[in-house]
Amino acid sequence: MWILWGINRILGCKSRLWGAKGGFCGEQIGFWGAKVGFDGEKKRILGSPKGGFGGANRRGGREVRGCFLLPPPPPPPPLETPLGGGGEIPEDIPGDIPGSARAAPRTLRTRSDTPGRSRTLPDTFGHFRTLPDTRATKMSPPVPALTPEQKKELASIAQRIVAPGKGILAADESTGSIAKRLSSVGAENTEENRRWYRQLLFTADKRVEPCIGGVILFHETMYQKADDGRPFPQVIRDKGALVGIKVDKGVVPLAGTNGETTTQGLDGLMERCAQYKKDGADFAKWRCVLKISAHTPTRLAVMENANVLARYASICQQNGIVPIVEPEILPDGDHDLKTCQYVTEKVLAAVYKALSDHHVYLEGTLLKPNMVTAGHACATKYSPEEIAMATVTALRRTVPPAVPGITFLSGGQSEEEASLNLNAINRCPLARPWALTFSYGRALQASALKAWAGKKDNTKAAQEEYVKRALANSLACQGKYTPSGPAGAAASESLFVSNHAY
């Protein structure tokens, strides 16, 4: 009699032999089931907390059937997909260890389900669960970060900087970096020497006015004055150029990596940008650094630096300052051209994904990348045309055409090499929807610095060398540069510095 009563319980209306909610070997109701025992109460006669004789014992995500008399239940019938034929589309829902009592179930949905409606479908363990469809039916637009007037101002500034034939003079070397350059020509690193050297660049004759659209300054230089009493920002604006400011505070080690770095300076950036805007700055620069080796750059370094650049860009735009985004891949190493192109594409793709996530207005930004070149120690030497093709290809695959201009850094190339490569880039047969110009520091100043040599009497000679390089790069950014003869010793000298830092 007890046996017949037990069979009736197993085959009753609340259970099925192979059912999803219970059965002979079911999980919730069974012969010695996990939740309802032989006597119908919520206890187990012979079952353990982990499952009875016929219950399911699941540990570490595995399901172990206690019943050995009958085969496991068949899987549920396949769901029809819009592509024809059967198929299941599982979707994990976050929870605890799969299979535990508290674990979130796995639900099955078809691609043809109506978004926004609940679905009652079996999971992989045969249970029927009703869960809301979490797929968004409409993406909420972001709260406008900029007014139309702000966008118009930012776009206008960016376009003025990269107007045809114009590029950027990067005179934003930190006190430590300029000390190395002054010492290379025997000049002492004093504030007066630094001021005088920057002044000879900013006061060069009118021939540079069609060549320079913007000048990037260091904080100290921003508040220095020319001999006639005019602040340097005013001197620059009087030459028809816009004033930029370096706002990052240098690179710091990225913990847990093999010498990789991130850039600091976000703390207080909002207030600093507001003050720089009042003091005459129209654009800013922030440099991040990545390295190519057998194990770098890591995903951590790429994503960290991309997000830092995006946050910086957003803060700048909120204060009416055009951000120059500079993810520099150093030329250190022996990697070939193809490797540099691959890494450049991955880095730029991550940067523009981050800029999109942070709602940065691309029309009011500029990009300052490295050219795609082989490592400094690479045995193979590539022509300007090969460098140009690799560079433009990488940019076409990653940089949206909404960006007004791309201002290349020189990256340790000699003055002449930087001009020739820029010229080849602007002659590349591929379509180029952005202005491709220069943002050079050493590649505009190396010959001028040597000619000056720390002596005020050499100011005119130094300015002449600077004008020469500015004119050459103005032509190169239009694809019109033709060397007029062998370059001088200073112009042909490599400017590579291992692990270069500003």
Distance of CA 271 to the CA centre of its chain: 24
Instruction: Give the phi and the psi of residue 377 in degrees, each rounded to 5.
Output: -95, 5
Check if the beta carbon of residue 230 is closer than 8 Å to that of residue 481.
no
Q: What DSSP string describes 234-302? A: HHHHHTT-EEEEE----EEE-TTSSS-EEE---TTHHHHHHHHHHTT--EEEEEEEE--SSS-S-HHHH
The residue from 173, 260, 326, 417 that is catalytic is 326
Q: Count CA atoms within 13 Å of residue 397 on its CB side.
A: 16
In 3D space, the residue among 399, 326, 395 whose CA is nearest the CA of residue 356 turns out to be 399
CA 353, CA 357: separation in Å to the nearest integer?
6
Helix axes 299-318, 337-357, angle to 10 degrees: 50
Instruction: Give the phi and the psi of residue 395 in degrees, each rounded to 5.
Output: -70, -40
> How many CB atoms are located within 10 Å of the residue 56 CB?
21
Query: 209 an active-site residue?
Result: no
Both tokens of 433, joined, read 């929807």
3-state secondary structure 303-336: HHHHHHHHHHHHHHHHCCCEEEEEEEECCCCCCC
Q: Are strands 366-367 and 261-263 parallel, antiparallel or unpaired?
A: unpaired
Check if the beta carbon of residue 247 is closer than 8 Å to that of residue 286.
yes
CA 487, CA 495: separation in Å to the nearest integer?
15
User: Helix, strand or coil for residue 363?
Assistant: helix
CA distances from 61 to 51, 101, 203, 475 (A): 15, 11, 73, 66
> Is the link from the previous residue into 297 a cis peptide, with omega within 30 of 0?
yes
CA 251, CA 273: separation in Å to the nearest integer?
19
CA distances from 217 to 193, 255, 276, 318, 336 (A): 16, 30, 11, 20, 34
The residue from 166, 246, 291, 368 that is catalytic is 368
Q: Are strands 322-329 and 283-290 parallel, antiparallel or unpaired?
A: parallel
CA 483, CA 77: separation in Å to the nearest integer?
74
- Which amino acids are annotated catalytic? 326, 368
